[in-house]
Every structure is written in C-alpha cells, then in structure tokens.
Structure 1
C-alpha cells in the first residue's frame, strides 16, 4: 500500500514480506544477493539475513533500525487510518519522507507519491 502499489488484502508481517522476497530471489535463480533495505524494507532485509544468512552477500541498510516504532505507536496509527482513512495522516507522512525543497520544486511528483 505504499507509493503506487495496491493495498492488497489481509494483515501482513515482516516474515510475509521475507517469504515474498525469497520467492522473488528464487524466481530469478539467484543464490546470493546484495540486498538494500530502506525504512521498513530494512526490517525485511535484516529478517531475511537472520533466516537465510547464506543467501545474503551483503546488506545495505538505509533509514532503518532493528525495530521501528512500538506496538502502541503502530496500533494508534492503524486505528486512526481504520477510523478516519489514510487521508488524515498523508500530509504528515509526506513531510517526513520528502524534503522541503522537494515539496517546493516537485509538486507534481509529490502529488503522485501522495496519491
């Protein structure tokens, strides 16, 4: 549900994303990968490494951590979106994800990402 991707159905876990990534790696026939994880993708990359370290040649981790937020902060955010929709948090997300210069100079790109 981020960027231009569809939301999809059901609840997803980091392990679900790791399973999807492993399927993609297998589909292309890669034995070892250099994996870049950005933000929550960094959680996926780290979990892939813990589950299948021999598959990972190297990790590039950017704007991530071993844990992002707390159960309480995520549950509050989820409840807000379920009650009021994604629209109420969209502008705040855009302020965090993109610099003020990007906001000022690339309004059309920003609108596409926000959409």
Structure 2
C-alpha cells in the first residue's frame, strides 16, 4: 500500500499480486474524529490522534464574551468546549502532525 496526495484529497493505493492497481479516494480530515490512514511519514496504517487546541474562533469568542460583560470567568467557557477548538491530527507512532483543522478555515 502507498499513500499519495492529490490537491486536498488523498488516495489510498492498494497493490495486490494478482490484481491491477486499486484506487480508493479518502476524504480530507476535517472533523474531530480520528481517521484511519497510512502515515506519509512512517508508512504505518494508523488511527490518527485528534487533539483539540484553542484556535482563532476560541479566542474571538472569549474576547467577545469579555467585552459584553462576562469578565468573571464566563468568558473562559470557549476554552472548555471542544467543539469550538481547532483540531490537530497526528500519528501515534512517529508523532508527526498530519493535519490541522481550523474551525474558521484560516489563521492570522
């Protein structure tokens, strides 16, 4: 098996002795859930480790809540909600970062 990228999509290529090449398109990693892929760094078939980290959306919501009067600790609620954080997918074997999912789609 080999792993190759085409644009933002990935192809999983399966090589078998008696058959032709088989191409299986895989969707890009864009969620909080871990994905099963072949790591392009170490070549192992792995399930990614998805770690939520504070991103631009988290900080914007925290700042907005602070400005509107939630300064007694309520402005920190976005840091407690994983659905508002960015997600970093990494390989559990070689610890390389495989994909960084940004909630807002861009980074400053």
State the TM bucket, normalised to the shorter chain.
under 0.3
Higher helix share goes to which structure? 1
Larger radius of gyration: 2
Provide TM-score, normalisation by structure 2: 0.23
Provide TM-score, normalisation by structure 1: 0.22
